[in-house]
Structure 1
Amino acid sequence: MAEDVLSQSEIDKLLSALSDGSVSAEEVKAEEEERKVKVYDFKRPDKFSKDQIRTLFMLHESFSRLLNTYLSASLRTMVNIEVLSVEQMTYQEFVQSMANPAVIGIIALPPLKGNIIIEVGPDIAFAYVDRVFGGEGKPSVKSRALTDIESAVMRRFIDTVINYFREAWSNVVEFRPNFETMETNPQFAQIVPPSDMVVLVTIHMKLGDVEGMMNICIPYLVLEPVMSKLTTSFWVAASVDRESSPDQVADLQRKIERTWVPFSVELGTVDITINEFLTLGFGDVLQLDTLAKDELVCYVGTNAKFRAYPGTAGKRMAVQISGIIEGDEDANER
């Protein structure tokens, strides 16, 4: 709109040109009418408004952050995931843009109708597989189809992706993702007619030094029942309500209670020289700084939390908690 506003000097030049006769009023009127014409392709009708596209962008930004956190921890490498674009196109255009072979997961989202596609770029797929198998996370030298073992690894990867996808969409609609099948040839991944409109979410992924793309194709047919909820105001309001929901707090508490943590008991310590350490052998005895009747220190993770007495329970060694170690966690860390 700002480009359509003329400055005072431009107005003066236009009035001067009209008065000189170098520019006629008819020419100005014709140019104004020409600017009002908007090209519209009836073969590709727009199904999504700008506000809905903006909401989908924010929604998948949340999904990218969740997936980024998970992959950084599980792969133990630098991971960067961000949404590049959200655009609408025909399904045929999307199929033609995919590589062959590709890693294509077809996902059902009941109770929503239809399927969606999650396509992982070959470079990212092979780098992920290599990292999972203990490698440096390098892509394949040449383009090839996945082996059976590599396909099983990528199925687990896409399973993880759709779990975080469901969590990111939970503010808009609750669905139960179901991994239907995985294809490598785009021509076999026909989920809607070629002329149907879809929204394509393009996500840039970087695993270590390898960069690539992941595409999420969502047909209009799938989103049609929830189109009214794809607005910025609804999404923000739902996010605020969900943050303060008691159900979410209870769900988080249940997840924490089921989390496994390492628990260890320190029998004692002893200081020895490097020379003594190098000459240790089978049958040598080290005298610890604790007596048989002394309390032992119990660690949860790396923090000292309890005191306990050693003993047995049946045929197993055990400890009986005798007290709680209070104080700062950093001070109690070993």
Structure 2
Amino acid sequence: MTEALSQDEIDELLNSISNGEDPSPDMALSEETGKPKRRKRVRLYDFKRPSKFSKEQMRTVSMMHETFARLTTTSLSAQLRSIVNVHVAAVDELTYDEFIRSLSSPTTLAVVQMDPLKGSAILEVDPAVTFAILDRLLGGPGKTLDRTRELSDIEISIAEMIMVRILGNLRESWSQLIDLRPRLSHIETNPQFVQIVAPGEMILLITLEAAIDKTEGIINFCIPYMTLEPIISKLSSQFWYASRNRQTSPENLAQVEERLSKVKLSLVAEVGRAALNLSEIMSLRVGDVIQLDSLAKNPILLHIGGKAKFDCRVGVLDNKRIGIQVIDKTTDVYEIDVDDLIIGGGDSI
């Protein structure tokens, strides 16, 4: 007599049937016991296209470049003074040869040095997007060409300027992961002339959809696996969110303080103010006296970086130079040499 199934086994079979799954590939009845036994799943593996990236790593890359897309949208909108929309369409893993074969010729290929990472990457911009940007920058409405052609030398120079600005957005979007310093090497128009890795090497392809007014196109960012290999362990959601929520360390605060200490601020001593109408200003001559709204014995305000900070009084330093004496009620008295102190319109005392 065949042994009865347990309740757990019955529930598992019912769940498989209710979900529309066929239990036969994964589960079959044992000839000895009559109980279902689970079969091992067989997953096909293509040795020509070895998988290098996990799904979590690809999701992290997608999140990074969503930031890149937003920054690029903002920068291009400001530069072109037009409606621009850029967003991530897909993140795929394929061979370099497949990527090159998928590109049209001619196109705009920017070879990018990924310092401090080794190797190069490729930023490919659809010709429709490229010519729409060029037309807008050169005074046109932002229309693309009906027929694709190669870029002229002048157009390549303008395209290099655009690429450098886009790469600045790339650096900021990667800042949570690494201090990336992307550098434009050169621009090519024929994909067959760009060989950054072997044809069979795996690459990560970030595809972005770009729309400039009514022109739509694709922007591809190709990164070889060998370039990402040193930081592959950081391509995880856990590391990404941890780096974003990381508190400022004392070392970072010391660096910020050191850099701020070298910032130059203007010191402006406001002696007084006067209100004159236009006719009085036009009639001013050398030697005229303007009456201010403050007395000579009253303290004057010292503005630092455009904000009033101290009360002070005018005096002479070393019987030679004019200066001001700053008095702060909560601290000691400080003396500041204002021989070259700038006042309002640029005159010096």
Q: Normalising by the residue count of structure 2, what TM-score does the alignment of the two structures yield?
A: 0.65
Distance in 1 between residues matched to 2:218 and 2:35, nearest whole Å: 48
2:212 equivalent in structure 1? 207
Contact 2:111 2:122 in 1 (8 A): yes
1:213-237 Cα deviation digits (max 9, x unpaired)? 1000000010001111111111111
1:153 corresponds to: 158
Matched, 1:54 2:59: yes
Q: Report matched runs for 1:196-235 at 5 Å.
A: 196-235=201-240
Please give the secondary structure, in 2, of the residue aligned with 1:137: coil
The answer (yes or no) to whether the contact 2:56–2:237 under 8 Å persists in 1 is: yes
**Matches of 2:59 and 2:177, distance apart in 1:** 14
Instruction: Specify the SS of the correspondent of 1:215.
Output: strand
The aligned counterpart of 1:139 is 144
Given the alignment, which residue of 187, 190, 202 partners 1:182? 187
Question: Which residue number corresponds to residue 125 of structure 2?
Answer: 120
Q: For residues 103 and 320 of structure 1, do their structure 2 counterparts lie closer, same or farther at Cα, with a shift above 3 Å needed?
A: closer
From the CA coordinates, give the structure whose radius of gyration is larger.
2
Q: CA deviation at 1:167?
A: 1.5
What does residue range 1-334 of structure 1 map to in structure 2 within 5 Å?
7=14, 10=17, 25=29, 33=39, 36-241=41-246, 246=253, 319=345
* TM-fit CA distance, 1:239: 1.7
- Structure 2: runs of 5 or more not aligned: 1-10, 266-275, 285-289, 293-306, 309-343
- The count of residues paired between Structure 1 and Structure 2 equals 266
1:5 Cα offset (Å) = 6.2
Once the two structures are superposed, what CA deviation does each residue of 1:246-267 show, in whole Å capped at 9, x if it has no partner? 489779989x999xxxxxxxx9
In structure 1, the partner of 2:327 is: none
Tell me by how many angstroms 1:132 deviates.
0.7
Query: Which residue pairs with 1:276 in the alignment?
Result: none
Structure 1 pair 291–83 and aligned structure 2 pair: CA distance change class (3 A) = farther
Q: Which has the higher helix share?
A: 1
Identical residues among aligned pairs (%): 39
Cα distance, 1:206 vs. partner? Answer: 0.9
Distance 1:87 1:9 in 2: 32
Amino acid paired to 2:29: A
Q: Deviations over 1:54-74 (max 9, x none)?
A: 100001111111111111111
Q: Compute the RMSD of aligned alpha carbons.
A: 4.0
CA distance, structure 2, for counterparts of residue 141 and residue 252 of structure 1: 52
Provide, for residues 29-54 of structure 1, a one-character-per-residue CA deviation record: whole Å limited to 9, x for no partner.
999637x1211101100000111101
Q: Which amino acid aligns with 1:141?
A: D
